[in-house]
A = this chain, B = another copy of it.
Amino acid sequence: MKKLINTPDSVLSDALRGLAAAHPELRVDADARVVFRAAPKRAGRVALISGGGSGHEPLHAGFVGPGMLDAAACGEIFTSPTPDQVQAAIAGADTGAGVVQIVKNYTGDVMNFEMGAELAELESGTAVETVLVADDVAVEDSTHTAGRRGVGTTLFVEKIAGAAAEEGQDLASVADLARRVAAAGRSMGVALTSSTVPAAGKPTFDLPEGEIEVGIGIHGEPGRRREPLEPASAIAKLLVEPVLADLDFTGAPTIALLGGMGATPLIELYVMYGEVAALLEAAGVRVARRLVGNYVTSLDMAGCSLTLLRADDEMLRLWDAPVATPGLRWGE
């Protein structure tokens, strides 16, 4: 294992220290392991929190800032944050208008965010709405999941619901919008290599030279099948076809995210996006907005994923609204 770390045990705390040093516009609670905005949003606006296991950066801490999240609870690598962390995120983010928490559908996350919300409701009476993201079309159940896994659509939910909260929509409206976005996203990923969790010290799975894992999860959970490594044009089909088979993306503006898994260079992501864009056009999907880069990653895994959102005009307007976070920034 070759990593730029001090010790496997200190990766998260060391990274949070670096995040704080790199981003004075964030406030890092090193004890609670929760990342907040340094300048909280205006009182009376709905707050948005998320979180999960670390190792998927910039998700979630890198999406804290105006126009997106108010706080992110950072679990150990690939490990759910504790209910206490979630409660701390809720308590620190709430401005009195209630909190929407965005949770990727993994069993530990679902349980701990629910418990965190209950603690917050009991102790401070905070109204909390939970929105689950379960967009991965690869498999129905998985190692850490009952039902579909939550992946790239999380970014869409955080951005669009974040914009709605920023402009003053109330708790029910923001939660409803977030659920509609979550329901309108689909994702599929492929791995060329396994990631290596520092505490494990070796790759999560073996993937021989010349093979890829189709339908990979962001913690290295098994996908649908192994296949020989093929040209980008063929791999693009392995991503596009199951996504389009699962939801009709025609007749609506679509937002596309072609995301790297962490160790794939940008030039390869652009190669992949060229192939994906051609397939989407041939299928009659109108891509209105697109992102190419590392957004929802899996440590040092090589590979990529495609996430599509069947948007509407309101979602598109909120997508275009200003955002200023370390990981996503435009229109300030």
Contact = CB atoms under 8 A, between A and B. Distances in A.
Interface of A: 2-7, 11, 14-22, 54-55, 57-58, 62, 77, 192-193, 209-210, 212, 229, 231-233, 235, 258, 262-275, 277-278, 290-292, 294, 297, 299-300, 302-304, 324, 329-332
A265 B262 contact: yes
Contact of A15 (B193, B212, B270, B300): B270
A292 B21 CA distance: 10
19 contacts: A3-B268, A4-B268, A4-B271, A5-B232, A6-B232, A14-B270, A18-B273, A18-B277, A19-B274, A22-B277, A54-B267, A55-B265, A77-B267, A263-B263, A264-B300, A265-B299, A266-B294, A329-B330, A331-B332
Contact of A290 (B2, B22, B77, B304): B22
A7 to B, nearest CB: 7
A156 to B, nearest CB: 17
Contacts of A297: 265-266
Contacts of A292: 18, 22
A193 B5 CA distance: 15
Nearest to A59: B266
Contact of A294 (B209, B274, B294): B294
A272 B4 contact: yes
A4 B232 contact: yes
A324 B329 CA distance: 10
A240 B193 CA distance: 32
Contacts of A231: 5-7
B4 A269 contact: yes
B62 A4 contact: no
A108 to B, nearest CB: 19
A267 B2 contact: no
Contacts of A269: 4, 18
Contacts of A54: 267
A18 B270 contact: yes
Given A6-B271, A14-B270, A21-B277, 10 more contacts: A2-B209, A2-B302, A14-B274, A18-B270, A19-B274, A22-B270, A22-B277, A22-B290, A329-B329, A332-B332
A299 to B, nearest CB: 5
A4 B304 CA distance: 9
Contacts of A5: 231-232, 268, 271
